[in-house]
């Protein structure tokens, strides 16, 4: 419940600025609320995955200590507002999300891009692979699913950098759903195939989002691989300083997020994963999903908040 409160507060703070066209302000509000709530927790926490460095957004920075210090040593990965543009434009899919695990469990990585591949549960290990061609991956997945390639749905972020990837997937006949933002949920969608229709996630998004997605996917049993994109000597050095010895390393799901991980995400705008925050006259409604890897339990928590003061920053 402590983690639920953290993402609830961040989501409500961001949602106050939902649809106002100001990404930075919404992000800042989410970050401030998340930091304040995290610092109340009885933990000795370190932010190992933060976000913002890349776009110079306000952030909970990597290496920052959080919690009151009187508790277990934990790694924390955060994206206080995942999908700042989605929030600013009130488009579907903005969430406040964080993951927590014992110290040393989450990949300690700089805020760079990550090449990712993910599928939902129920397939043989290794049926798709980050190093296989898009065509081989689609065909192998179709075979494992017992369908034709044109019945496979692939989710890809709509970016110029994905032009070749999109062309290669189109050649297989597979269907592609393009999203403008929000690939933490995008990866998780592969594990909700019956609701989303998505079989495969492919492409390059943020590394922080990759670790958060891996943490959640682990809990529901899909497969994921990721590789940091360290395309300048400066990024290679920065990563090396954080313990990434091999800049080309392909990380499996449990190398991205190991141990007993808990992930909490609260909806900011309405989306396929979560409903957004609703501001009533006397009640604020939030919807949160909590994943726990050790048990594979997934809980959805609908909350009605009646004390609005708790959402105000001091």
Q: Give the nearest distance from C-beta 15 to ligand VTB in angstroms.
A: 16
276 touches which of Mg ion, ligand VTB, none (CB within 5 to 8 A by kind)? Answer: none
Report d(CA 314, CA 12) in Å as an integer. 15
User: Which of 183, 199 has the CB closer to ligand VTB?
Assistant: 183
- Of the pair 183, 287, the CB lying nearest ligand VTB is at 183
Is 50 or 149 the residue whose CB approaches ligand VTB more closely?
50
289 interacts with, out of ligand VTB, Mg ion, none, CB within 5 to 8 A per kind: none
**C-beta closer to Mg ion: residue 81 or 268:** 81
246 has binding-site annotation: no
83 counts as binding ligand VTB under rule CB under 6 A = yes
Among 45, 182, 203, 259, binds ligand VTB (CB under 6 A): 182
Instruction: State the number of binding residues for ligand VTB (CB under 6 A).
Output: 10
159 binds ligand VTB (CB under 6 A): yes
Task: Establish whether 58 is an annotated binding residue.
Answer: no
What is the number of residues in the chain?
A: 314
- Of the candidate residues 134, 205, 222, 276, the single one contacting ligand VTB (CB under 6 A): 205
Based on the shown chain and the rule CB under 6 A, indicate whether residue 203 belongs to the binding site for ligand VTB.
Answer: no
181 binds ligand VTB (CB under 6 A): yes
Least distance in angstroms from the C-beta of 82 to ligand VTB? 5
Give the residue from 134, 109, 271, 262 showing the smallest Cα distance to 196.
271
Determine the Cα–Cα distance for residues 217 and 122; give it in Å rounded to an integer.
13
Per-residue tokens: 251: 């990380």
Q: Which span sits near Mg ion by CB under 5 A: 48-56, 147-155, 212-220, 228-236? A: 48-56
Q: Which of residues 239-298 bind ligand VTB (CB under 6 A)?
A: none
Please, what is the minimum distance in Å from the beta carbon of residue 307 to Mg ion?
27
Residue numbers at the binding site for Mg ion (CB under 5 A) = 51, 79, 81-82
- Would you list which residues are annotated within the binding site for Mn(2+)? 27, 51, 79, 82, 209
- Would you list which residues are annotated within the binding site for substrate? 82-84, 113, 159-161, 181-183, 206
Residue numbers at the binding site for ligand VTB (CB under 6 A) = 82-83, 159, 181-184, 205-206, 209
């Amino acid at each position: 419940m402590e983690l639920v409160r953290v993402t609830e507060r961040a989501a409500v703070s961001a949602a106050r600025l939902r649809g106002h066209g100001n990404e930075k302000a919404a992000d800042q509000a989410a970050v401030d609320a998340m930091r304040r709530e995290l610092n109340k927790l009885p933990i000795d926490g370190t932010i190992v995955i933060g976000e913002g460095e890349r776009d110079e957004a306000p952030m909970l920075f990597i290496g920052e200590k959080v919690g009151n210090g009187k508790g277990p040593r934990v790694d924390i990965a955060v994206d206080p507002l995942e999908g700042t543009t989605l929030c600013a434009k009130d488009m579907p899919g903005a969430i406040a999300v964080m993951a927590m695990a014992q110290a040393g469990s989450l990949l300690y990585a700089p805020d760079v891009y990550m090449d990712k591949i993910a599928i939902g549960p129920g397939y043989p290990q290794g049926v798709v692979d980050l190093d296989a061609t898009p065509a081989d991956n689609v065909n192998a997945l179709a075979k494992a699913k017992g369908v034709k390639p044109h019945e496979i749905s692939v989710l890809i972020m709509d970016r110029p950098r994905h032009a070749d990837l999109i062309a290669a997937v189109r050649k297989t006949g597979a269907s592609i759903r393009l999203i403008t933002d929000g690939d933490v949920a995008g990866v998780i969608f592969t594990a909700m195939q019956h609701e989303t229709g998505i079989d495969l996630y492919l492409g390059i998004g943020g590394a922080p989002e990759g670790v958060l997605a891996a943490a959640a996917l682990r809990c529901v049993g899909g497969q994921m691989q990721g590789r940091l994109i360290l395309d300048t000597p400066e990024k290679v050095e920065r990563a090396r300083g954080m313990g990434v010895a091999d800049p080309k390393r392909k990380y499996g799901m449990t190398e991205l997020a190991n141990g007993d991980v808990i992930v909490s995400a609260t909806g900011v705008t309405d989306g396929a994963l979560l409903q957004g925050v609703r501001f009533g006259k006397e009640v604020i409604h939030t919807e949160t999903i909590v994943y726990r890897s050790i048990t594979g339990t997934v809980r959805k928590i609908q909350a009605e908040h009646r004390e609005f003061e708790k959402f105000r920053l001091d």
